[in-house]
Structure 1
Amino acid sequence: MRMFFAPEETEEYEAACSLLIRRMSQWARERGESVDPFFVETALDYRHRGTRDGRLGLWEPRHIEEYLLDWLPRTVTVLPGEEPADAPGTLAALLRYLDAMGLSDPRGASSADNLAAIETLAPRYAPAMADRGRWGMAKFWAVTAAEQGIDVQDPAALESFVELAQQGEAPYDQDVLDEVLRNHLTRGPAEVTRAEPQLPVLLPTEKELRARAEMSRALRWLRGIADWAGHEGRMLTAKGNLRMADARTLVAELGTGDVVDTVRSSTQLPRLGLAVEWAKKARLVRVAKGRLYAVAKAQPLLRDPLALWRHAFETFPELRVPLLGTRSGRHVGSLLFDSFEDAVPDVLSTLYSLPHAMPWPRLRDSLHLRYRAEHELTGRYAWQTELGHADRDLRTALDVLEDLGAIKRHDGMADPVFLDIPLEESVLPPAGLPPELAELFGAVAGGHGDSEDAAERSKVQRAELTDGPVELIRLTALGHDSVRRRLLAEGRDAPRVGELAHASAAGLLGVIAEHYDPDAARTELAAWVAARESPAEALQKLTDAVRATPFRTRAEAMLDALVDAYPDGEALLRGLRGDPLLAPTALSVLVRREVLGAEDLNEPESLVMVAESLLQLLETAGPEGLLEVLGGRELSAHKALEAALASDHPDQAGLADLRTVAEQARRRPAAHLGRSHQRRRPGASGRGRGGRRRH
């Protein structure tokens, strides 16, 4: 049971949803609880399709609020005369189930905090569902049609009504429709574009980060300007600039590096001018009645170097004009000027989690591709001129980011992974690297098309990277920390090695199995073990977590991750071959790793392996998918299922599911086995019980 699926993994996701809904419904019945499978499905769909990270097991109060008060009112139609079902109650049951099954992501909020959020938000759910301004477009037309007696279950009838309404021949509330349109434009579509997950990063402690922030050159500028301005304020010129005498003093005291001997105005001191504007953007100083004052409320921030550093980093993208000037200012504007607030965060995200320092030519050319996609320029000279200006401004931005301490630059040879060389000769990019970053490596980005221009650019860039040392750029620890904070604020997945030290064993193994590369997994597991009383106790908790996992594919993924990350993992794996509960999982991993062959298994183990294979296939493909696969094998579906059911496999719930599939196979003519079937999970047609529909 995976809890994360790529957007294109439609069948895998739907099979997992079907299994989760079925198992959860059974779990709830055993406890005398009532849950609505339709709303279990919508909750999973919200996390899969409506959020940028797509992690089904990670919930926080912000997700709960958005799901109950935005996603459901926009996407689920309740027809006239019906009451909205208890979605908050079903969501609470789902979160309790995920927690009980070890499926919750430990990086989310605690179960207590999430359940408290549901209880707080529940009274607002029904009014939100009834608030027409929150509806989506499809829901608006469906309810409007139903209120006028149209059978909205008939697509043709509904479409005909909408056409009549748009032609002015059927009544509808134009004010409500206008509000729905405005909300759609401001909030965007219910389904969002998935952001690629990032590789885990290793960061220093807060204490170490604070010490590094204290050494920032740019932080010294910002504090110095606030201290100089003070509560009494400093007089400015009639145009609101620093007086030249004051500017000379500040350049000397702050060490901005500006040349003061040949200038007549403080506006000709770019570094000092930038520092003053930065202090304004950060609300450390303000201008009032011709004087520059320190902001009293900023004093606690000025005393905390790490908080101040993070604040300065967050405001840096707002410095386009003071950093680059205006198009009518001191130099010609560039393509970077037009996209500065978006491009700078993208550059920093590109550097994030790269295992090697980024060569300047790669970073520069990644921006060139962006410019070419966003702008229409004709002629080689026009492009060369514009790109030259953009490169100049990018270097200016990098200079200041280095002064802040967000990046570090040095000269050296580019790592071979960045070279644009034939795939069979290249060093492959690190496993698990997000595609948006992998494209920067030569093994993936071997030219940007078949055009002669692309081939020539590739040839020139390779020569630039191999002829000698180039400028190499990487994020510092402070840079990594703040980029990660921004990614998390955007709802993206950005793991930090060490953040799972206090997670449950099931939570730890689930996360490293789905989201960690091997090196980070080993470091994370070592930190987790070190936080326990003893290695023996830690290992017991880890293996117990795998034993308790009721989903076969998840148990194997967890054990696989444990074996990879634990010292002498293969010996651990061999020792689990005779474990009453873990034997099927251990055997499956041993066979898949080719430590054991089919000839090494005795007859009971062979039967258990048949059962384990079918149970895993049932989880990933669903009942119809399982029968489809079995129908194409020499061993008939009936015999395979009979062998599995006769085994000593310990998963009784899974065997019960297989028994149901076996009954389906017996009722189905042999000629029909193996045919392709349209597989849908409950509610996948968009229609729930009681006329509810998803749009």
Structure 2
Amino acid sequence: MRMVFTAAPDDVFDAAQERLVGRVVRWSRGQHREVEPFVVAALVEHRWADGDGLLCRWQPEDLREALCEWFPRRVSMPAAETPALLTSVHTFIDFLFAEDLADDRCAEPAALHALIDAVAGDVAAAMGDETRYGPAKFWTMRMLAAGVDLEQPQQAQRYLLDVQAGRVAVEQHHLDRVMADDAAAGGNDRMGPLPPVDLPTDAETAALAAASVMLERIRRFADWVGAGRALTATGRLRLADAAELIALLGLADRMDPVIGGKVFRTGSTDELYETSVLFAWAKAARTVRVVKGRLLPVKAAARLLTDPAALAHRAFEAFFGLREAVCPAGYAASPIGWRFEEAAFAISLALYVAREPISTQELGDLAFAVAGEAAFIDTDAPDAVPLRRACDADLDCLLEQLALLGVVELGQRHATLLPLGTALVAAHLRGQGATTPSFDTMRAETAEVVVTHAAAAPPAVGDALLDRWYRANPETARRDLLALAARTDDPHHRRLAREYAHADGVAPVRRVHRAGDVRRRPKTRRTR
């Protein structure tokens, strides 16, 4: 039976959940054990929707979080049914081990049962404490207590109208606590599991960063600043200095351009796009600073400027704050500029998760959705077309700067995350509190976890992942793959495990990949 559902799409998980719960119920009957199917279904769904999807691997802290936090907050069960809840979890744990479905990294059953017994009192108290409920459970339990038939929408609507009219009393301090706790927890807005990526080594990252066009510009810009440069009264580079910088670094900007035989005098460095971006980026990366109308080097950045990898990480983090420089408003609205940080993050994450080229059309859809949400725009409405064009122009600017940094490679109609970009995005995600699996961390994983990731990956990525894992486990890989093939009820995983085992590590993923899962993409919002 398949037991790993990391980022599996809804339809794949829903069908497997039904099969798993049915098997638990049949086993419990044969063993004369008590179990509530609803509890098992809720527990494994939580592990899939809010966790890592490893239904075969439980630690005491996993059960503590589910029983003491998630069930009280989300699952609408009366406190009086807490004993049935705990008994059902006990039964589920025994089922996993009796049916040989717990993997090698699962805690021992004695430790899991001890945890359930230890928190029984806390669970009972939490299940009866309204202030521990989430908003949906709060109102559901209130309506059930009032005799509302939740299968009758009219009854539920009538009850809520009575609440609004003051005909049904609600302890406002309880409701305020519920809403505040839900807001503090971030509601459902959390990043899902990320796929394993092939991270470059530290030495490779340093070499890639040393070849970055933008990092070389930032280093040479800092050298050019020297002991200091005077700025204009408005804090901009002087035009003479900008002209010198353009010539020194070979920037694409043109002073006093001639168009149609007419000279257009440059009035401000705001008209010099690449110069303005470099100026803003160097300041944001804290390699230079403005003091009393002068641009000065940051002495503490001297060592940073000699460390390509460290400078790359600093510059990438600074990029998210370059809204005004990268997407200047000019004479038209800058849709991505409305939410530049969020759009840049969403695009970076999408490229990171895809692990293959993404069309600029798809990236434009994503960026416009992020921008449209900020301004409450109906992105499908006809009058949104001009804004979409402006958004696409902003996206071109954003991607061009990431390409200069060495994060992405741009094709005619697509963008691809480069190895340096993979390293920088992974580090950024870790800074946001996310776990970023890599091919190296996957070497110690079980066959099912690796096969699940390989099946959902682009073919070349799946090949590389399985090959790396197989070579790291030469004594056990073939045996474990054949055991997985015999146990799983997922036909694609069975075929992939069997072919790879018989091929003795020669990558066959491309032959069977297309029948595999479609990976559920994580939410593209930042965690806070």
TM-score range (shorter-chain normalised) is: 0.5 to 0.7
Once the two structures are superposed, the pairs formed by residues 284-683 of structure 1 within 5 Å of their partners are 287=290, 290=293, 304-326=307-329, 329=330, 331-338=331-338, 340-348=340-348, 351=351, 374=379, 376-378=381-383, 383=385, 388-409=389-410, 470=412, 473-483=415-425, 497=439, 499-505=441-447, 507-509=449-451, 511-512=453-454, 514-516=455-457, 519-532=460-473, 535=474, 538-543=477-482, 545-546=483-484, 551=487, 553=489, 559-566=494-501, 568=503
Rounded to whole Å, the distance in 2 between the matches of 1:63 and 1:307 is: 36
Rounded to whole Å, the distance in 1 between the matches of 2:184 and 2:134 is: 12
Which of these residues, 19, 22, 38, is aligned with residue 15 of structure 1? 19
Structure 1 residue 221 and structure 2 residue 217: aligned?
yes
Q: Please report how far the alpha carbon of residue 404 of structure 1 lies from its aligned counterpart in structure 2 after TM superposition.
A: 0.7
Quickly say closer, same or farther: Cα 1:280–1:238, change in 2 above 3 A: same
Tell whether the 8 Å contact from 1:406 to 1:475 is kept in structure 2 after alignment: yes
TM-score (norm 1): 0.53
Rounded to whole Å, the distance in 2 between the matches of 1:386 and 1:49 is: 35
Q: Which amino acid is 1:404 matched to?
A: L
Q: 1:171 maps to what in 2?
A: 169
Q: Please report how far the alpha carbon of residue 280 of structure 1 lies from its aligned counterpart in structure 2 after TM superposition.
A: 4.1
Query: Which whole-Å deviations, capped at 9, do the CAs of 1:639-677 have from their partners, x for residues lacking one?
Result: xxxxxxxxxxxxxxxxxxxxxxxxxxxxxxxxxxxxxxx
Secondary structure, aligned partner of 2:409: strand
Rounded to whole Å, the distance in 2 between the matches of 1:125 and 1:295 is: 54
Quickly say closer, same or farther: Cα 1:35–1:96, change in 2 above 3 A: same
Quickly say closer, same or farther: Cα 1:130–1:359, change in 2 above 3 A: closer
Query: Which whole-Å deviations, capped at 9, do the CAs of 1:309-336 have from their partners, x for residues lacking one?
Result: 244334434322211212xx4x423444
Rounded to whole Å, the distance in 1 between the matches of 2:382 and 2:498 is: 55
Query: Which whole-Å deviations, capped at 9, do the CAs of 1:445-475 have from their partners, x for residues lacking one?
Result: xxxxxxxxxxxxxxxxxxxxxxxxx566433
Query: Which whole-Å deviations, capped at 9, do the CAs of 1:557-601 have from their partners, x for residues lacking one?
Result: 65532332245479xxxxxxxxxxxxxxxxxxxxxx9xxxxxxxx
Quickly say closer, same or farther: Cα 1:406–1:167, change in 2 above 3 A: same
Secondary structure, aligned partner of 2:416: strand
Rounded to whole Å, the distance in 2 between the matches of 1:87 and 1:285 is: 60
Quickly say closer, same or farther: Cα 1:399–1:189, change in 2 above 3 A: closer
Quickly say closer, same or farther: Cα 1:504–1:178, change in 2 above 3 A: closer
Q: 1:139 maps to what in 2?
A: 137
Secondary structure, aligned partner of 2:332: coil
Q: 2:201 maps to what in 1?
A: 205
Q: Which amino acid is 1:524 matched to?
A: L
Which is higher, the Rg of structure 1 or of structure 2?
A: 1
Rounded to whole Å, the distance in 2 between the matches of 1:303 and 1:128 is: 55
Q: Which amino acid is 2:456 matched to?
A: H
Quickly say closer, same or farther: Cα 1:506–1:393, change in 2 above 3 A: closer
Rounded to whole Å, the distance in 1 between the matches of 2:91 and 2:220 is: 52
Secondary structure, aligned partner of 1:240: coil
Q: Which amino acid is 1:219 matched to?
A: L
Query: Which whole-Å deviations, capped at 9, do the CAs of 1:466-496 have from their partners, x for residues lacking one?
Result: xxxx566433222344456667888999875
Tell whether the 8 Å contact from 2:286 to 2:301 is kept in structure 1 after alignment: yes
Rounded to whole Å, the distance in 2 between the matches of 1:170 and 1:21 is: 40
Quickly say closer, same or farther: Cα 1:158–1:530, change in 2 above 3 A: same
Once the two structures are superposed, the pairs formed by residues 69-108 of structure 1 within 5 Å of their partners are 70-77=69-76, 79=78, 101=100
Q: Please report how far the alpha carbon of residue 218 of structure 1 lies from its aligned counterpart in structure 2 after TM superposition.
A: 1.5
Secondary structure, aligned partner of 1:318: coil
Secondary structure, aligned partner of 1:553: coil
Once the two structures are superposed, the pairs formed by residues 48-127 of structure 1 within 5 Å of their partners are 48-50=48-50, 56=55, 67=66, 70-77=69-76, 79=78, 101=100
Q: 2:275 maps to what in 1?
A: 272
Q: Which amino acid is 1:539 matched to?
A: R
Rounded to whole Å, the distance in 1 between the matches of 2:404 and 2:359 is: 19
Rounded to whole Å, the distance in 1 between the matches of 2:93 and 2:84 is: 15
Rounded to whole Å, the distance in 1 between the matches of 2:199 and 2:423 is: 7
Q: Please report how far the alpha carbon of residue 46 of structure 1 lies from its aligned counterpart in structure 2 after TM superposition.
A: 1.2
Rounded to whole Å, the distance in 1 between the matches of 2:119 and 2:395 is: 49
Q: Which amino acid is 2:478 matched to?
A: L
Q: Please report how far the alpha carbon of residue 16 of structure 1 lies from its aligned counterpart in structure 2 after TM superposition.
A: 1.8
Q: 1:43 maps to what in 2?
A: 43
Rounded to whole Å, the distance in 1 between the matches of 2:218 and 2:121 is: 45
Secondary structure, aligned partner of 2:9: coil
Rounded to whole Å, the distance in 2 between the matches of 1:497 and 1:272 is: 39
Secondary structure, aligned partner of 1:171: coil
Secondary structure, aligned partner of 1:474: strand
Secondary structure, aligned partner of 1:408: strand
Q: Please report how far the alpha carbon of residue 271 of structure 1 lies from its aligned counterpart in structure 2 after TM superposition.
A: 2.1
The count of corresponding residues between Structure 1 and Structure 2 is 481
Tell whether the 8 Å contact from 1:498 to 1:524 is kept in structure 2 after alignment: no
Q: Please report how far the alpha carbon of residue 141 of structure 1 lies from its aligned counterpart in structure 2 after TM superposition.
A: 3.8
Tell whether the 8 Å contact from 2:39 to 2:88 is kept in structure 1 after alignment: no
Q: 1:624 maps to what in 2?
A: none
Q: Which amino acid is 2:496 matched to?
A: A
Specify every segment of 5 or more residues in structure 1 that has no aligned partner in the other structure, as ranges.
411-469, 571-592, 594-695
Rounded to whole Å, the distance in 1 between the matches of 2:239 and 2:126 is: 59
Tell whether the 8 Å contact from 2:17 to 2:44 is kept in structure 1 after alignment: no
Rounded to whole Å, the distance in 1 between the matches of 2:289 and 2:127 is: 45
Q: 2:523 maps to what in 1?
A: none
Tell whether the 8 Å contact from 1:40 to 1:94 is kept in structure 2 after alignment: no
Quickly say closer, same or farther: Cα 1:163–1:253, change in 2 above 3 A: same
Tell whether the 8 Å contact from 2:246 to 2:252 is kept in structure 1 after alignment: yes
Q: Which amino acid is 2:45 matched to?
A: D
Q: Please report how far the alpha carbon of residue 212 of structure 1 lies from its aligned counterpart in structure 2 after TM superposition.
A: 0.3
Kindly report the root-mean-square deviation, in angstroms, between the aligned alpha carbons of the 2 structures: 5.6
Q: More deviation in 203-212 or 518-527? A: 518-527
Quickly say closer, same or farther: Cα 1:557–1:367, change in 2 above 3 A: closer
Q: Please report how far the alpha carbon of residue 521 of structure 1 lies from its aligned counterpart in structure 2 after TM superposition.
A: 4.2
Rounded to whole Å, the distance in 1 between the matches of 2:90 and 2:255 is: 65
TM-score (norm 2): 0.66
Q: Which amino acid is 1:12 matched to?
A: A
Tell whether the 8 Å contact from 1:95 to 1:111 is kept in structure 2 after alignment: no
Q: Which amino acid is 2:379 matched to?
A: E
Q: 2:259 maps to what in 1?
A: none
Specify every segment of 5 or more residues in structure 2 that has no aligned partner in the other structure, as ranges.
257-264, 506-511, 513-528
Rounded to whole Å, the distance in 2 between the matches of 1:362 and 1:161 is: 43
Which of these residues, 225, 235, 239, is aligned with residue 240 of structure 1? 235
Rounded to whole Å, the distance in 2 between the matches of 1:402 and 1:66 is: 42
Quickly say closer, same or farther: Cα 1:305–1:323, change in 2 above 3 A: same
